[in-house]
Structure formats: structure tokens, C-alpha cells
Amino acid sequence: MSVRRLDAVLGAEVDGVDLRALDEPAFAAIHRAWLDHQVLLFRQQALADADLVAFSRRFGDLDEAPVQETGRRFVDGYPEIYVVSNVVKDGVPIGSLGSGEAVWHTDMSYLPQPPKASALYAIEVPAEGGDTWFCSMYAAWDELPAPLKRRVDGLGVKHDGTYNSGGYVREGVTPTGDPRTSPGTVHPLVAIHPETGRRALYLGRRRNAYIEGMTLEESDALLDDVWAHATRDALTWRHHWRAGDLVLRFCDALGNFARRSGDMRTPVQFTAIAIVALAVSAAGAHVAQTPDAADIAEGMNLYLHKGDCQSCHGWAADGRKMDSQMPDGSNLRETRLDRARIAMTIKCGRPGTGMPAFDKFAYSDGRCYGMKAADLKTPMPDPPATLQQREIDLLMGFLMEKVVGKGPMTHAKCIEYWGSDVDVCKEFK
């Protein structure tokens, strides 16, 4: 198997792999490449419905697709599969969205907890047209001019649920004409991906979007500026489909749109992968928001008490452990690990060291480094407690805001860390 970066700001093609028969090391490599590149292209696949669902499910629990406009499921026995097609059989469309052109959008962002990913599989494609564009919201944030970054950071944007990506009113919805009162969900305009720790714009769709706390005129002007920047050609990759292509894509750090192909036949299936990882609670948010003071305090409490991280890493997370009987912990204030790798270490520990795994199911199913308990040379030490995904997210929020990259502790940092000049801060005077 090989991973080749595409000639674009995002995307990679994975060669030499049959998605019907993936062992754990191969899947781990695919998962890492997906986090690194946002979109993965697999050519020449031959997937039955069950194969598509099985591959998608390795990334997490699957959402059920909405029913067709006809009121029927797209594929009998596989409620997770959504068919995008303009084919009409016996007077009835076999899929949805037809031949129109979809606008730039992020899949199902109007939901309180949108999917984190989707897998698109091409069964039949036209000779011309039908291309799909993908846009990196990581790159859009990274290249956003500094004044615009300052304006949008911390804002919430309402993602309208009135219209789908083809511009049609969703079934059962009555348009209000005012995005402030339309159905939808408010999400942070600047989101933090929970696995990579990278910031991204989270825009959804331009139509009927609204930034909380602004007048409609102010909101529209700012959104127009951000959208004009975010959808520049330099930040996109255009995919021309072939039959047998499977594209695995982020939903939370990516925009996409499609130009379909008039009267040419275009059946495509896709599955939507929910944020819920297998055997992990659904309590975690779709994207990690910039934590507020209450979340940071809760994360700090988990660090100090339930997780008892201070016994090995010290209360300041600088490696000065509090319990001499415990293993030496690393200096997290100066670690070179990124957010995703720190979170993985918390979940999975470090085999062969004293670092325990805080995920209750860490070595039960290959989720950690592609290993199961039988693969470990020595048993993992028991953690002080197991942590649910939401607790790991809170702990990571605290570490990223208060610890990682903050350098050696000083008196001023100690006061900021604790919120007051507590006794332990005196040693830094």
C-alpha cells in the first residue's frame, strides 16, 4: 500500500489496497493518512453494499441516511446508504439530488451533532461532467488574513436547515425568510478538530447562514468576506470520478460541491460516519470548540483528581511528579507532541512504559496502534480511572489552553494557572 499526496493543498491517493480485506496495520495507516490529508481517494474498488458499510463502520458508528423524497429507503437492508443519482427506473428516481449543481457546503452541518466523515463510492459515472470539488477549511483558516481571523474567532454561526445542498426546501420545513428564526444549529465559526487539534473554518452553507449577535447586514458582509477567501481555487481539489472510486472525506474541516451532468446517468452511494466511535459514548462534541472557563476548570479537575495525572507529571505538568513511587512523567509544558498524539497517548497509553491507557476498551478491538491485548509484550498498567471521550476532550482542552507550549512555570503563570496566588506559587517568586 502506498499513499501519494495529490497536487493540491489537500487530498491523497491510496494505491495497492482492497478495502474489502484490510488488516489492522493497513487500516491504521489509512486512518493516519485521512487525518493528515482530509480526503483520500481509492481507485478500482469493487464494493458490494455490505462492503461499503463495513469499511465505513471501521471509522465509527454510522448515521442512517434520510429517506428518499418517495418516502422509501435508498437500499433495502442498508439504511446507512444514501444514493445520489439522476437515474429514473420505472418512473421512480433511484436516488436523490438529481442532475442539479450542489453549492459549496459541509454535509449535514445544520444538525446539532453532524457526522465527522463520509465515504462516497461511484458505481456509474458520466463521460463528462459530474466532478466534485473539495476545499480545505484548515488551509482557509491558516491563510485567513490576521484582521479577519481576529474578527471571526469566537463567533457562532447558525447553519440553516431549511434548504439542502441542491437548493431544495427540506421535507416538512416551511421557509421563514429570516435566518435568525429558521431551523438550524449554531456552531463555532472557528472549530478545532478533536483528533488533529488543528483549527478550521466551519461554514456549512452560505445561504441563510447567520452570525449570532450581529445585524443581518453585518452578518452577511462578514460571511461574504470569509466565503470569498475560503473558496478560492488555490484551496481546492477537483475530483473527476471513475467507476470504482471511493472517496473518504472529512465533514468537519472540509467544504465540497458537485457539478452533476444533465441527462447523463450518475449513481453514487455514500455513507455518513457519526462522531460516535465504536464502543465510545456519544457525549463528545462533533468538533472541539475553544473551551470556555468552565470546561477548562473541569478539565483541570480531571487532570488533578480523577485522572491523577499530577502523580507522574506534576501539578504543573512539568514532569516534577508528586508521587515518588509512580513512573516519571514527561514535561507536557515542553512536549513536541501535537493535540492528536497527546489525546491518543491518553486513550491508549504507551505500551512498555508506565503510561496507562485511560480508554476502557483500549486494547480490545485494535483501536490503539492496531494492537489487541494479545499483541502486548507486557500487560498495560491500570489507570487510576477510565475516562469517557467527553472527559478526554475536556482534559485535552485544559492541556492545550493551560499547559502545552506554555514553557517553564513562573510566578505569573502560576497565578494564571490557579486563578490566584496560591501557596505553591511562592516557590516561583
DSSP string, 48-59: -HHHHHHHHHTT
CA dist., res. 16 & res. 1, Å (int): 5
Let me know whether 384 and 258 are in one domain.
Answer: no
pLDDT value for 310:
95
Q: Is residue 234 part of a domain?
A: yes
Let me know whether 135 and 178 are in one domain.
Answer: yes
**What's the rounded mean pLDDT across residues 333-352?**
84
End-to-end CA distance of the chain: 56
**Domain total for the chain?**
2
Let me know whether 202 and 329 are in one domain.
Answer: no
Q: CB under 8 Å to 77, separation ≥6 — which residues? A: 49
pLDDT value for 409:
93
Q: Is residue 182 part of a domain?
A: yes
Q: Is residue 281 part of a domain?
A: no
Q: Phi/psi of residue 378, each to 5°?
A: -130, 150
**What's the rounded mean pLDDT across residues 221-228?**
92
CA dist., res. 278 & res. 199, Å (int): 25
Q: Is residue 286 part of a domain?
A: no
pLDDT tens for each residue of 297-323:
999 999 999 999 999 999 999 999 999
Residue after which a domain boundary falls, among 224, 243, 273: 273
User: What angle in degrees, to the nearest 10, is found between the helix axes of 339-348 and 389-402?
Assistant: 140
**What's the rounded mean pLDDT across residues 338-364?**
86
Contact 13, 4 (CB under 8 A): yes
User: How many other CB atoms sit within 10 Å of the CB of residue 347?
Assistant: 20
Cell numbers representing residue 109 in the block: 452541518
Q: 28 exposed, middle or buried (CB, 10 Å; 0-12, 13-18, 19+)?
A: middle
Q: Is residue 101 part of a domain?
A: yes
Which of the four pLDDT bands, split at 50, 70 and 90, describes residue 278?
A: very low
Contact 153, 286 (CB under 8 A): no
Let me know whether 239 and 90 are in one domain.
Answer: yes
Residue after which a domain boundary falls, among 212, 241, 273: 273
The range of the structural domain enclosing residue 18 comes to 2-273
Rg of the chain, C-alpha, whole Å: 23
Cell numbers representing residue 144 in the block: 485567513
CA dist., res. 118 & res. 108, Å (int): 11
CA dist., res. 32 & res. 196, Å (int): 10
Let me know whether 227 and 305 are in one domain.
Answer: no
Let me know whether 187 and 329 are in one domain.
Answer: no
Cell numbers representing residue 45 in the block: 474498488
Q: Is residue 54 part of a domain?
A: yes
Nearest in space to 287 (alpha carbons), one of 86, 74, 138: 138
pLDDT tens for each residue of 85-140:
766 676 666 666 555 556 677 777 777 777 788 888 988 777 777 788 899 999 99
Let me know whether 124 and 9 are in one domain.
Answer: yes
> Global pTM?
0.60
Residue after which a domain boundary falls, among 212, 240, 273: 273
Residue of 223 and 205 predicted with greater confidence: 223
Let me know whether 89 and 192 are in one domain.
Answer: yes
Q: Is residue 166 part of a domain?
A: yes
Cell numbers representing residue 87 in the block: 437515474
User: What angle in degrees, to the nearest 10, is found between the helix axes of 293-301 and 389-402?
Assistant: 110
Residue of 404 and 195 predicted with greater confidence: 404
28 membership: H or E segment, kind and range: helix 24-37
Residue of 187 and 252 predicted with greater confidence: 187
Q: Is residue 288 part of a domain?
A: no
Let me know whether 75 and 7 are in one domain.
Answer: yes
Contact 276, 149 (CB under 8 A): no
Nearest in space to 216 (alpha carbons), one of 178, 189, 169: 178
pLDDT value for 339:
80
**What's the rounded mean pLDDT across residues 404-428?**
91
CA dist., res. 367 & res. 178, Å (int): 45
Let me know whether 102 and 237 are in one domain.
Answer: yes
Strands in 2-5's sheet, in edge-to-edge order, are 2-5, 12-15, 39-42, 246-250, 117-122, 268-273, 81-85, 96-97
CATH number at residue 187: 3.60.130.10
pLDDT value for 63:
78
Which of the four pLDDT bands, split at 50, 70 and 90, describes residue 243?
A: confident
CATH number at residue 375: 1.10.760
What is the sign, positive or negative, of the torsion defined by CA atoms of 53, 56, 59, 63? negative
Let me know whether 209 and 337 are in one domain.
Answer: no
CA dist., res. 253 & res. 152, Å (int): 16
Let me know whether 318 and 261 are in one domain.
Answer: no
